[in-house]
């Protein structure tokens, strides 16, 4: 294997599209259930929470998560930025404030020049600085494919903790970033992505989900998660299962990257989309006028995707104002929760 200047050529998958399919992951985890869960563990692997949360006193709980993947772009600095943004997002998705990070670095040392690896880590450090934290250590190994990510540690008041299981009947469903990053990444690998769409992809995947901290202060925000490798449909299903409710969403209300629509109609999408749908498609009800390309967008793996928020209807505008004030200009209400189970798309 040789390095031709394209990081993506060294990996068989990229970004959150590398995730193990939800159905397969569920089968794996069934064989190793967690036992003797301490009362202080407020969140763990139950309901696929974004991070583990361990209460240390009345007013503080530690939030811990990890995320890493193979290159989604060829620029090493941007790859580092995207991977770090994606990892820290899980802290914000719990309503927590990041404290510090540890780097996870796996590189083909005999293939990649050291200066390329240095650019990857520099990209990660730049995002951590933007989040107000430092990389305090980490671990590195020699691997076949490039891998980079973080362990991220944060802190939250247990009373302000936001989980993915608290949605209430009638709640509004809000999405802060548009869908389509996975499709853009597939086009990039095929050298079919326009320069403008590439720049939009970088901007979206390196934007920190900082509003999660402000949203945690609102009692009217009942559930919070981020949309990543399982796509909008998969992560919305997690909210539905946790609340034992159904989600009704309107396709025309969902923010979508315009070039992603064009590309998916031409048959460009990641291998993760059909794998995702295979795992949960039986829980999704699609209106008759919706086509296969709509399905591939709903299951499109989002790397460093947006926040998915459940809030009381009267708080909808307040939540949207918080998001838009922080630059999430495409944030939209996409539906609401009703009685039942699964997701209905009209």
Across the beta sheet with 147-156, the strand order is: 41-43, 52-55, 61-69, 147-156, 97-107, 135-142
Answer yes or no: do 210 and 337 share one domain: yes
Answer yes or no: do 77 and 178 share one domain: no
pLDDT score, position 154:
98
Question: Which residue, among 46, 144, 51, has the nearest Cα to 98 in the 3D structure?
Answer: 51
pLDDT at 342 over 60: yes
User: Going by DSSP bridges, is the β-strand pair 246-249/343-345 parallel, antiparallel, or unpaired?
Assistant: parallel
Question: Which residue, among 97, 138, 100, 99, has the nearest Cα to 120 in the 3D structure?
Answer: 138
pLDDT score, position 48:
73
Of the residues 160, 187, 214, which one is the last residue of a structural domain? Answer: 160
Whether 165 maps to a domain, the answer reads: no
Question: Could you report the per-residue pLDDT of 108-145, keeping only the tens digit for each?
Answer: 999 999 999 999 999 999 999 999 999 999 999 999 99
Answer yes or no: do 180 and 136 share one domain: no
Whether 112 maps to a domain, the answer reads: yes
Q: How many other CB atoms sit within 10 Å of the CB of residue 175?
A: 27
pLDDT at 42 over 60: yes
The residue ranking higher by pLDDT, 4 or 150, is 150
Provide the token pair at 33: 């259930």
Which CATH number belongs to the domain containing residue 226 in this structure? 3.90.650.10
d(C-alpha 222, C-alpha 129), whole Å: 30
d(C-alpha 316, C-alpha 175), whole Å: 11
pLDDT score, position 47:
56
pLDDT level of residue 91 (50, 70, 90 thresholds): very high
CB 307 within 8 A of CB 212: yes
255 lies in which domain range? 172-345
The residue ranking higher by pLDDT, 304 or 45, is 304
Question: Could you report the per-residue pLDDT of 173-218, keeping only the tens digit for each?
Answer: 999 999 999 999 999 989 999 999 999 999 999 999 999 999 999 9
d(C-alpha 279, C-alpha 94), whole Å: 25
Answer yes or no: do 155 and 238 share one domain: no
Answer yes or no: do 179 and 156 share one domain: no
Question: Which residue, among 308, 318, 50, has the nearest Cα to 173 in the 3D structure?
Answer: 308
Which CATH number belongs to the domain containing residue 154 in this structure? 3.30.1330.10
Q: How many other CB atoms sit within 10 Å of the CB of residue 217?
A: 11
Question: Which residue, among 20, 11, 153, has the nearest Cα to 96 in the 3D structure?
Answer: 153
Answer yes or no: do 47 and 133 share one domain: yes
d(C-alpha 121, C-alpha 105), whole Å: 8
Answer yes or no: do 156 and 60 share one domain: yes
pLDDT score, position 232:
97
pLDDT score, position 49:
80
Answer yes or no: do 109 and 137 share one domain: yes
pLDDT level of residue 50 (50, 70, 90 thresholds): confident
Provide the token pair at 108: 């083909």
Whether 2 maps to a domain, the answer reads: no
Model confidence, pTM = 0.91
SS3 content of the chain, % helix, strand, coil (to 5): 40, 25, 35
Write out the catalytic residue numbers.
16
Whether 288 maps to a domain, the answer reads: yes
Three-class secondary structure of residue 223 per DSSP: strand
Whether 1 maps to a domain, the answer reads: no
Whether 200 maps to a domain, the answer reads: yes
Q: What is the mean pLDDT of the chain?
A: 92
pLDDT level of residue 16 (50, 70, 90 thresholds): very low
d(C-alpha 66, C-alpha 104), whole Å: 9
Answer yes or no: do 204 and 115 share one domain: no
pLDDT at 9 over 70: yes
Whether 166 maps to a domain, the answer reads: no
Q: Provide the number of structural domains found in the chain.
A: 2
DSSP letter at 90 equals: H
pLDDT score, position 6:
83
Of the residues 125, 160, 195, which one is the last residue of a structural domain? Answer: 160
Question: Could you report the per-residue pLDDT of 250-296, keeping only the tens digit for each?
Answer: 999 999 999 999 999 999 999 999 999 999 999 999 999 999 999 99
Of the residues 110, 131, 160, which one is the last residue of a structural domain? Answer: 160
- The average pLDDT across 158-162 equals 95
Whether 317 maps to a domain, the answer reads: yes
Answer yes or no: do 219 and 143 share one domain: no
Answer yes or no: do 140 and 193 share one domain: no
Answer yes or no: do 191 and 334 share one domain: yes
d(C-alpha 324, C-alpha 307), whole Å: 12
pLDDT score, position 113:
94
């Amino acid at each position: 294997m040789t390095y031709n200047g394209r990081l993506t050529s060294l990996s068989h998958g990229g970004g959150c599209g590398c995730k193990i399919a939800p159905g397969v992951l569920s089968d794996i985890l069934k064989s190793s259930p967690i036992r003797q869960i301490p009362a202080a563990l407020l969140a763990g692997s139950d309901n696929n929470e974004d991070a583990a949360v361990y209460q240390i006193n009345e007013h503080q709980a530690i939030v811990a998560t990890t995320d890493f993947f193979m290159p989604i772009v060829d620029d090493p600095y941007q790859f580092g930025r995207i991977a770090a943004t994606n990892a820290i997002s899980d802290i914000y998705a719990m309503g927590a404030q990041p404290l510090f990070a540890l780097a996870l670095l796996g590189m083909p040392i005999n293939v990649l020049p050291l200066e390329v690896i240095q650019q990857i880590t520099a990209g990660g450090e730049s995002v951590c600085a933007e989040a107000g934290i430092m990389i305090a250590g980490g671990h590195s190994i020699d691997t076949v494919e490039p891998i980079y990510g973080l362990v991220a540690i944060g802190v939250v008041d247990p009373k302000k903790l936001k989980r993915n299981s608290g949605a209430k009947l009638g709640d509004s469903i809000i999405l802060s970033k548009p869908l389509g990053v996975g499709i853009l990444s597939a086009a990039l690998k095929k050298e079919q992505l326009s320069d403008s769409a590439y720049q939009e992809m970088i901007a979206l995947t390196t934007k920190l989900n900082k509003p999660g901290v402000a949203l945690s202060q609102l009692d009217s925000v009942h559930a919070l998660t981020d949309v990543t490798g399982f796509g909008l449909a998969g992560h919305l299903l997690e909210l539905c299962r946790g609340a034992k409710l159904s989600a009704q969403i309107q396709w025309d209300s969902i923010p979508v990257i315009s070039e992603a629509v064009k590309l998916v109609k031409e048959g460009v999408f990641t291998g993760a989309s059909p794998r995702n749908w295979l795992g949960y498609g039986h829980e999704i009800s699609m209106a008759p006028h919706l086509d296969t390309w709509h399905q591939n967008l709903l299951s499109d793996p989002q790397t460093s995707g947006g926040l998915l928020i459940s809030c009381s209807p009267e708080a909808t505008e307040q939540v949207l104002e918080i998001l838009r004030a922080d630059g999430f200009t495409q944030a939209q209400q996409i539906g609401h929760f009703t009685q039942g189970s699964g997701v209905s798309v009209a």
